[in-house]
Structure formats: C-alpha cells, structure tokens
Amino acid sequence: MIGKNIFAAGEINIDSFDLNPKTVVNNTGGTQFQMTFRATVDVAKFNARCGSDADSFYWYVYRDVTGVDLKRGSGEVAVSRTAAFLNLNFDQTISIDTTDPDLINGGTARYYGQVNCPSMVSIQIARSAGVPITFGSVTNKSYACVANNNKYACSPANLTNCSDVSACSGRPCVQIGTSLCGQDAGAAAAPKYGCNSSNQCVADVNGIYSTSNCDNKCGGSGGTTQRYSFEIPNPLKGGASDFTSLVKIIAQWIFNLAIPIAVAMIVYAGILFLTAQGEPAKVAKAKEVLKYAIIGLAIILIGSGFITLIQSILELGSGSQ
C-alpha cells in the first residue's frame, strides 16, 4: 500500500506499508504480523519540519476506525543524515493487539502506517493507505507463514511453529485458511506509483511503470496529490504589512524626492530674476516660476493633510468644530 502525504509536504514519503497475513484465523489477542514499512526521508524537508537536531522519527500502526484512530503499534527509526534522500527499510515482525470487541468473533479491520516527528507534540508527517485484515473463524485452518516470495507457505504437518517449512524460518507462523495456501499474500512491497512516459507520477495499477518511488524523481512533476504548505516571505522591508502602510512608505519616498526638486525650482526662479536684466516679461516669468514653486511646495507639505481637510469639510454638520 502506498503512502499519501496527507499532512505535510513530503518530509517522509511512505513508499510501502503492508501487514501480513491478511487473514488471521486464530484471533488470540497479540497477533503477530509481518510488517513491510519502507519510507524515503527528504532530509532538507525533514530538518525544516522536525528540526535539524532530530535524529529519529516515530512510526505507528493505527487501526482505522471511523472517527477515531486506535494506536496498535509503534517504534522509532534513526535518521542518519548521510544523503539528501534516505531510503529507510524497517520491515519487522510486530505484535498488534487485535482484541477489539468487534474482531473477537471475526471481522475486518483496516490498519495504516504513519510517521511522525520525534517531538513532544509529535507532528504527523505522512500516513499510508489502509491495509484490510480479516479476522474470524475458518473451518479448514492451516499454520502458514508469508514466505520470501510473498506467498503463503503452509506447514504440511500443520505445526504451530511452521518449523517444517524452510521458507518460514524466522517468520511469524499463523493460522490461515487452507484455501490460501500457496496463494499470493497480497503484499504490495513495491510502490504502485510510477513515472509514466510524460514524466507524471501516476497510480500504477498494472505494474507497467517504473516501480521507483517517483516522488522527486519524475522530472519534478508529480502526479500524486500532495498537500504543500508554503508562504511567500514579505519582500517589503521596513514593516509594510498592509496596503495602507505600503502607500505611506511610497508617499514618504516621493515627499523626500520633492524637497530637492522644490529647492531646485526656487533657485531656478532666483536665476531667472538674476538674468532678467529688468525686462518686464522675463521678470514676470520669474515671478510665476517662484509663485508656483511655493504653491507646489505648500501642496507637498500639506500632503495627506488634504484628506483630513476634506474629511473635516464633509463632517461640518457634526458640530465637532
């Protein structure tokens, strides 16, 4: 089963999560399962999410019950930052408490794998799809294990420890229905997502595509649905966090620009006076330049005061004069 990053942005991708056997006949409580749990850690993202000092992450096996998730197993996996992407394989035999009341007399439960940051708050990173396990009584039972070839290997002598099957060495021996002997255990050890010809990461139902975990490996264009949280840092230095303060900053800048221009215009008027040589037309022009320079300066200095002025005119009737 393939992980979907439903919480975060690919800090850890669950490449594979599976539990075997799929059918548990003898539901005695602490049922032994062979867990397939493989994950790829994107170290850069992992550092950002869990902290660069985090030297491990937690894995969990949850039972998926509508409305509530029941923790049924957990462990810790060390993260040694030896590469940008770490492929971690922590397949192991785990014991899952299957004494849920609705399972004692047979039933089906879905279990999923999850990885979390190793912090106190234990931030959720990714969750796999659910693996359905069937519990219940089956008439023809046989002890078997899931062999290396992903098929059920039944014990010919029906020994409880499967010791007569060499393929079962070191593997949990559980009772299954005899009809399942030799059948595929339904494990999906390899990812069922792959890169197609157009460089998209798509669900690989028929196993045609490359079985490599295609996150970050399909020319950057993933076809899987991922949830990314991102934010654009404010490029405006100086504290402009809304439009009004941005306008204020721009206005201040234009104001600063206006003062040297005012100086230049007044000096220009002075030069016109100086070079007029008493000619009335030139003197008149110099006067105009000086007059409008001063009017312009006054308008600049009033600036946003005009808004207050107009506001006060509009509120004449309020009597708050």
Partner 1 sequence: MFINIAKAADGGYQGVNLTIQSVFGIITGLACWFTRFALILMVVYIVFYGIKFMMAQGNETKFGEAKKSFTWGLVGVLVILGTYTIIATVANGLGADYTLIVPLRCGSY
Binding-site ranges for partner 1 (CB under 8 A): 235, 253, 256-257, 259-264, 266-278, 283, 286, 290, 294, 297-298, 301-302, 305
**Residue 1 CA neighbour count, 13 Å, CB half:** 24
- Burial zone of 215 (CB within 10 Å; 0-12 exposed, 13-18 middle, 19+ buried): buried
CB of 279 to partner 1, least distance (A): 8
CB of 291 to partner 1, least distance (A): 11
**For residues 43 and 290, which CB has a smaller minimum distance to partner 1 in the complex?**
290
**For residues 30 and 270, which CB has a smaller minimum distance to partner 1 in the complex?**
270
DSSP, collapsed to helix, strand or coil, labels residue 318 as helix
What gap in Å lies between CA 297 and CA 113, rounded to an integer? 71
**For residues 54 and 290, which CB has a smaller minimum distance to partner 1 in the complex?**
290
Please list, in sequence order, all residues whose beta carbon lies within 8 angstroms of the beta carbon of residue 179, skipping any fewer than 6 positions away: 140
CB of 286 to partner 1, least distance (A): 7
CB of 255 to partner 1, least distance (A): 8
CB of 48 to partner 1, least distance (A): 23
CB of 258 to partner 1, least distance (A): 9
Among 247, 258, 246, CA closest to 293: 258
**For residues 260 and 319, which CB has a smaller minimum distance to partner 1 in the complex?**
260
**For residues 58 and 273, which CB has a smaller minimum distance to partner 1 in the complex?**
273
Please list, in sequence order, all residues whose beta carbon lies within 8 angstroms of the beta carbon of residue 268, skipping any fewer than 6 positions away: 289, 293
DSSP character at residue 142: E
**For residues 70 and 250, which CB has a smaller minimum distance to partner 1 in the complex?**
250
Please spell the DSSP secondary structure of 269-310, one letter per residue.
HHHHHHHSTT-HHHHHHHHHHHHHHHHHHHHHHHTTHHHHHH
End-to-end CA distance of the chain: 75
